[in-house]
Structure 1
Amino acid sequence: MFIRSERLFLRPGWPEDWQELHSRIADEGVVRNLSSAPWPYTAEDARWFAQQPQDQRLPHFFVTLPTSAAPAQLVGCVGLAEFAGKVELGYWFAREHWGKGFATEASRAVLRLAKVLGHRHLVAGHFIDNPASGAVLRKIGFAPTGRVHQRHSLSRGYDAQSVEYSIDLGSPSDCDGGDKDAAGVMRAA
């Protein structure tokens, strides 16, 4: 699967992406915000992740900046995964791309796809010492559940407090959210 947003191109990872992936994520400030990435993040970790097959119901994407020069620059990763029996949105972006709105834009694109795939409810979270991720989640429509729980962080090597968020996407038939009458029934255009 491929997704094009206003500024970004989301695509599957390929085995030959491992070096660029490694150069973007091998930053302790990035990895410490993830639950399942180890620190230090090695070349072998990047090779393994870059060759992971896509799950059609839980896809993950390399986020790139399309340019006229090839190849497009990898700026991060976004996708869906299963965690504790729920579908979870997750993402990371290279430090030099923080604060540019890329996490918000890429996550919105994946939310639209999640709805098309039939997911009705998603969860997400962030470690309590990463409030910027909470700001992204709120911008894209997630609401705090009021729950803070312990979640293991492989990079930190211990359980850390994680703030939980959720979003209801609605049924797949109302993907664009428009064209409904007062009763919520889709109208013909």
Structure 2
Amino acid sequence: MFARTERLTLRPGWIEDAPALAAAIGHDAVVRNLSRAPWPYTLADAEAFVAGWQGDPGPNFLIFAHDSGRCDLIGGVGIGPLGDVPHMMGYWLTPSAWGRGYAVEAGRAALDVAATLGIGRVVAGHYVDNPASGAVLRRLGFVATGTRSSIHARARGVDVETIDYAIDLAERRRDRRLAA
């Protein structure tokens, strides 16, 4: 499954992507805000990640930017299970891609794919010490649920408090039809 936006291509990861994936995600500032990624993030971790892509239950993508005449791996976005939550959205960008609107652009594309697949509700969250992620979620139309939880941050080795959000994709589709 692929998705294309004005500046981005979202596609599954391939084993050939492992070196670029390890380089893009391999920053403490990135990995510390993810629940599943280890630190340090190695080439072997990237190879295992893309090898495990087969049969993944949700729309999960690597993000490639092509707005500079090149096609560079800059991040990842996906919607899939986390614990007992069937549709949790997560995303990350390499630091050189921060502040350019890529997270919102990729997030919109991933939510569009999820809606096409019939996924009705998606939840997300951000660690309390990562408010920039909350800004992205709000721009995508997620609404804070008023709850907080703790999610284990593998790279940090501790549970970290999160602010929880949700989006109703059926409502989002209806609002888009009304705006058209």
**TM-score, with structure 2 as normaliser:** 0.91
**Is the Cα–Cα contact under 8 Å of residues 8 and 67 in structure 2 kept in the other structure?**
no
Q: Does 2:31 match 1:31?
A: yes
Q: Does 2:81 match 1:77?
A: no
Which has the larger share of helix? 2
* C-alpha separation in 2, matches of 1:49 and 1:102: 22
Residue aligned with 2:176, SS = coil
**Is the Cα–Cα contact under 8 Å of residues 9 and 64 in structure 1 kept in the other structure?**
yes
Question: Equivalent residue for 1:58?
Answer: 58
**Is the Cα–Cα contact under 8 Å of residues 120 and 168 in structure 1 kept in the other structure?**
yes
Question: Equivalent residue for 1:40?
Answer: 40
* C-alpha separation in 2, matches of 1:171 and 1:134: 20
**Is the Cα–Cα contact under 8 Å of residues 7 and 67 in structure 2 kept in the other structure?**
no
**TM-score, with structure 1 as normaliser:** 0.87
Aligned residues: 178
Distance 1:117-1:17 versus aligned 2 partners, 3 A rule: same
Distance 1:156-1:99 versus aligned 2 partners, 3 A rule: same
Distance 1:178-1:50 versus aligned 2 partners, 3 A rule: same
* C-alpha separation in 2, matches of 1:175 and 1:92: 28
**Is the Cα–Cα contact under 8 Å of residues 62 and 73 in structure 2 kept in the other structure?**
yes
- Cα deviation 1:5-53 (Å, max 9, x = unaligned): 1111111110011000011111000000000001111111011112222
**Is the Cα–Cα contact under 8 Å of residues 104 and 139 in structure 1 kept in the other structure?**
yes
1:77 is displaced (CA, Å) by: 0.5
Distance 1:45-1:146 versus aligned 2 partners, 3 A rule: same
Residue aligned with 2:39, SS = coil
* C-alpha separation in 2, matches of 1:61 and 1:86: 17
Distance 1:160-1:23 versus aligned 2 partners, 3 A rule: same
* C-alpha separation in 1, matches of 2:85 and 2:149: 16
* C-alpha separation in 2, matches of 1:30 and 1:6: 24
Residue aligned with 1:177, SS = helix
Distance 1:171-1:55 versus aligned 2 partners, 3 A rule: farther
* C-alpha separation in 2, matches of 1:15 and 1:175: 38
Residue aligned with 1:62, SS = strand
Question: Equivalent residue for 1:145?
Answer: 145
* C-alpha separation in 1, matches of 2:58 and 2:89: 9
- For structure 1, the 5+ residue unaligned runs are 181-189
Residue aligned with 1:39, SS = coil
* C-alpha separation in 2, matches of 1:142 and 1:179: 19
1:62 is displaced (CA, Å) by: 0.8
